């Protein structure tokens, strides 16, 4: 059995595998799958790859531009950009949250 440790306000808390850590990991993996399927054609979606389209920012750098949580509404309503090469994307709210979770996982 694999356990996770969390340090919260000076207290070490032991989290069992059935705690929200696993749910977070699943959400991150779902987001990674979405990124690979819908975004990797232009964007670097991993920790060290290069964007196939030079003008497309790597996902690992997005958090430096703005809080990635701010993308949730745009992802659910449909991302539209000012340049014609970016297709419009619309994700359901759960997919949008998974993609946000994946983007946040790249901040580490």
- The 10s digit of each residue's pLDDT in 2-61 is 444 444 444 444 555 555 789 989 999 999 999 999 999 999 999 999 999 998 999 999
Number of domains in the chain: 1
Indicate whether 68 belongs to any domain.
yes
Per the DSSP assignment, residues forming a β-bridge with 6 are 13
Q: Does 6 reside within a domain?
A: no
Determine, yes or no, domain membership for 97.
yes
Enter the pTM of the model: 0.75
Q: Is residue 9 domain-resident? A: no
Nearest to 71 by CA among 104, 29, 25: 104
Provide the pLDDT confidence category of residue 100 given band limits of 50, 70 and 90.
very high
CB 5 within 8 A of CB 12: yes
pLDDT tens by residue, 68-88: 998 888 888 877 665 667 778
CATH number at residue 60: 1.10.760.10
Question: Is 17 within a domain?
Answer: no
């Amino acid at each position: 059995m694999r356990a996770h440790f969390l340090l919260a306000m000076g207290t070490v808390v032991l989290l069992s595998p059935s705690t929200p850590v696993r749910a977070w990991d699943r959400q991150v993996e779902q987001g990674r799958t979405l990124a690979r399927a819908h975004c990797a054609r232009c964007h670097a979606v991993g920790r060290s790859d290069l964007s196939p389209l030079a003008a497309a920012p790597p996902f690992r750098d997005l958090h430096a531009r703005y809080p990635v949580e701010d993308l949730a509404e745009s992802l659910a309503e449909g991302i539209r950009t000012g340049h014609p090469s970016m297709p419009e994307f619309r994700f359901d709210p759960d997919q949008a949250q998974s993609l946000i979770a994946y983007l946040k996982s790249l901040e580490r």
